[in-house]
Amino acid sequence: MCGIAGLISLNNSPETTAAVERMVCALARRGPNGSGVDVWSQAVLGHRRLAIFDLSDAGRQPMQSADGAVGIVFNGAIYNFRELRADLETRGCTFKSNTDTEVLIHGYREWGIDNLVTKLRGMFAFGLWDDRLRKFFLVRDRLGVKPLVYAMRNGQLAFASTARALRSGGFSGELDEQAVAEYLEFGFITDDRSIYEGVRKVPAASIIEWTNGALQTREYWTPPMVVESAAPSFNEAIEETERLFLRAVEMRLYADVPVGALL
């Protein structure tokens, strides 16, 4: 359970960095193993680390590409990162860590953001800055397991793992009374709003792209609603369910720290 935060602006200022530092402090409970803030001309990214893969400093975040042109803050776990890493190594990519975070950096450069996200299996939320293109991407996993909220003000994008962190950066307004009423009545809020005015949730299975102070949101996955092949027999269905279940558990048990399972 790491914590991520950042501000993307047309022009950074010392106050921009200070705001992200406050946001990172507000995320302290999400990451006891380290923190960091990195600065580019238009982006300031912050991170609180809970180390799962590669406990060394090589896994520090924010993480940058070798030339510093791509930076990322990541929360979650990519269950198939070893397979993706092996593919990237055959394409000439070299790695300095054993983290899934670094796989995202190389994967972005090799495949682009839209092709990368379709290859990911896991629960994740991340922000990626491309300093060459002056573009920023917010990405959330297919089911929205990992939290990620954002706010826009005068072309400046603020994001964080929690609305509380956004408030620490000065980007959360008053309570949205309609959203609060919906939550009290239904137990959830019906769209991507939060209980705070101006703070929205990144939709599940979506990419939000920031370019020159403007946002574009696109969905990268939808659950299949139609069975494309003939229905299996009862025994075949049991065997396939068992195979998928065992594979899913196996993928989630890989870590560089002790793990447990609750079934």
Q: What angle do CA 72, 75, 80 make, to 5 degrees?
A: 90
Amino acid residing at 211: T
Three-state DSSP class for 262? coil
Three-state DSSP class for 181? helix
Amino acid residing at 172: S
pLDDT in tens, 203-238: 999 999 999 999 999 999 998 877 767 788 899 999
Does residue 134 contact residue 42 with C-beta atoms inside 8 Å? yes
CATH top-level class of 3-219: alpha beta
pLDDT in tens, 153-173: 999 999 999 999 999 999 877
Mean residue pLDDT of the chain comes to 94
Cα separation, 233 vs 231, in Å, equals 7
Q: Longest C-alpha distance within the chain, in Å?
A: 64
Q: What is the mean pLDDT of residues 26-51?
A: 95
Cα separation, 68 vs 19, in Å, equals 22
Cα separation, 207 vs 62, in Å, equals 19
Percent of the chain at pLDDT > 70 equals: 99
pTM for the structure as a whole? 0.93
pLDDT in tens, 56-95: 889 999 999 999 999 999 999 999 999 999 999 999 999 9
Q: What angle do CA 34, 195, 181 make, to 5 degrees?
A: 150
The alpha carbon of residue 48 and the mean position of all alpha carbons in its chain are separated, in whole angstroms, by 13
